[in-house]
Amino acid sequence: EQVFAIGSPVGFEATVVTGIVSALDRTEVLANRQLPVIQLDAAINFGNSGGPLFNLRGELVGIATARSRRGEGIGFAIPIDRVRLFLRALQEGKGGRSGTVGVVLDIAPEIAELVTPLGFHSGITVSEVDAGAPAKEAGLAVGDVIVALRGRRHDELDPSPRGRARFAQLFGETIRSLLPGEAIAVTVVRPSKTGERGELIELELTVEAANEREQALIDAEELLGLYLDPDVEVPTIRELVPGAPVSAVPGAARALRGATISSLFLEDVDTLAELGAGLERLRGWSGPGGRIAITFTTAQGQPIPLSAYPLSQRP
């Protein structure tokens, strides 16, 4: 499709450039690595960012946002549907919320025997589907193995525990980057009840905004590098996120497993809701990395005050 971008490249106001759409749903481009963008071959330069992208019918199809530094004629635009969803989320007070579809994934089950006969190398098993959640409405079922997102396979991963863990991480990052109302195509392999080869199924999940409790758990994972126990009211650490900065601290995993978060920014924290409020403020002003003041209380009741706790880099 031919498109036109309007902007002020290098100071030349009201400049119109033209090109064609080269690809849709291109990821790994912007700071939010999972945000899908339009790739085009129009000459996008400094000053085009934020300008409109039109098609031949005069319809607004995107907002020019970036260009590739590695080659000429490779520009990117945010799809207008995503812009509309973002504005609606702001109006509804959900602009800072992560996306969710209401599933729990399990890296433990072996998947090779199920997915390999259908030509797939990696995936992740669905262990729980919340009643009334988008995943349930779309037809996702317990035992399904997710093998592709947006039609993209991840053959760089294997069916080993490490490969399954990485696939689960990719799924989580992708869903959380989406806005309420945004849809994503997923491919699953469903086990046969008769012992025959699994069935390949295409589904479309419509994302909803995380509630306050879910957002607190997500922010603890993404910002603090901590998996919290979702079944208790007091913020209790289940384990450290592999690869998070805190996991590189000697003895941190042993000391923090089962500990609670008792203060953040020198303010007492007694509940997951209070932690969530603090992390919401942190999410609003923190960049990649950084350090904060936080206090943990071990399972034995010993306080561990830290004045320079290392934050994780958000995806």
pLDDT at position 315: 39
Residue 114 lies in a domain: yes
My answer on whether 221 and 279 are in the same domain is yes
Of the three residues 30, 62, 85, the one that is the final residue of a domain is: 85
Is the distance from CB of 93 to CB of 189 less than 8 angstroms?
no
**Separation of alpha carbons 136 and 230, rounded Å:** 20
Amino acid at 76: F
My answer on whether 57 and 157 are in the same domain is no
Burial of 281 (C-beta count, 10 Å sphere; 0-12/13-18/19+): exposed
My answer on whether 133 and 104 are in the same domain is yes
What are the CA-CA distances from residue 48 to residues 4, 41, 45, 65, 178 (Å)?
11, 14, 6, 7, 25
Q: Provide the strand spans (E) within 150-274.
A: 152-153, 183-190, 199-206, 208-209, 226-228, 237-240, 260-264, 267-268
Residue 162 lies in a domain: yes
pLDDT at position 287: 54
Name the residue with tokens 């959900």: 94
At 164, is the secondary structure helix, strand, or coil?
Answer: helix
Total count of domains within the chain: 3
pLDDT at position 305: 95
Of the three residues 184, 209, 234, the one that is the final residue of a domain is: 209
**Separation of alpha carbons 176 and 235, rounded Å:** 21
- Which of 190, 209, 188, 238 has the alpha carbon at shortest distance from 98? 209
Any bridge partners for residue 19, and if so which?
3
How does pLDDT run along the chain (315 residues), one tens digit per residue?
888 888 777 667 777 777 888 888 777 766 666 678 888 887 776 766 777 888 888 888 888 887 766 667 788 888 888 888 788 777 777 767 889 999 999 999 999 999 999 999 999 999 999 999 999 999 999 999 999 998 888 888 988 999 998 999 889 888 988 888 888 999 999 998 877 788 999 999 999 999 999 999 999 998 999 999 999 999 999 999 888 899 888 999 999 999 999 999 999 999 999 999 999 888 766 555 688 999 999 989 999 999 999 998 543
My answer on whether 117 and 188 are in the same domain is yes
My answer on whether 202 and 251 are in the same domain is no
The CATH number covering residue 294 comes to 2.30.42.10
Residue 92 lies in a domain: no
At 79, is the secondary structure helix, strand, or coil?
Answer: strand
My answer on whether 218 and 284 are in the same domain is yes
- Give residue-wise pLDDT tens across range 85-137: 788 777 777 767 889 999 999 999 999 999 999 999 999 999 999 999 999 99
With a CB cutoff of 8 Å and minimum separation 6, the contacts of 303 are 262, 295, 296, 297
**Separation of alpha carbons 274 and 269, rounded Å:** 6
My answer on whether 222 and 253 are in the same domain is yes
Residue 166 lies in a domain: yes
Residue 91 lies in a domain: no
My answer on whether 103 and 190 are in the same domain is yes
Residue 90 lies in a domain: no
Of the three residues 26, 61, 85, the one that is the final residue of a domain is: 85
My answer on whether 36 and 57 are in the same domain is yes
My answer on whether 109 and 129 are in the same domain is yes
First to last CA, the chain: 31
| Alpha-carbon torsion, ordered 8, 11, 12, 16, to 10 deg | -20
- Which of 241, 209, 227 has the alpha carbon at shortest distance from 313? 241
The boundaries of the domain holding residue 29 are 2-85
Is the distance from CB of 223 to CB of 146 less than 8 angstroms?
no
My answer on whether 195 and 226 are in the same domain is no
Any bridge partners for residue 5, and if so which?
17, 53
My answer on whether 304 and 219 are in the same domain is yes
Residue 94 lies in a domain: no
Helices (H) and strands (E) counted in the chain, each on its own, are 7, 20
**Separation of alpha carbons 180 and 93, rounded Å:** 11
Amino acid at 217: L
Residue 315 lies in a domain: no
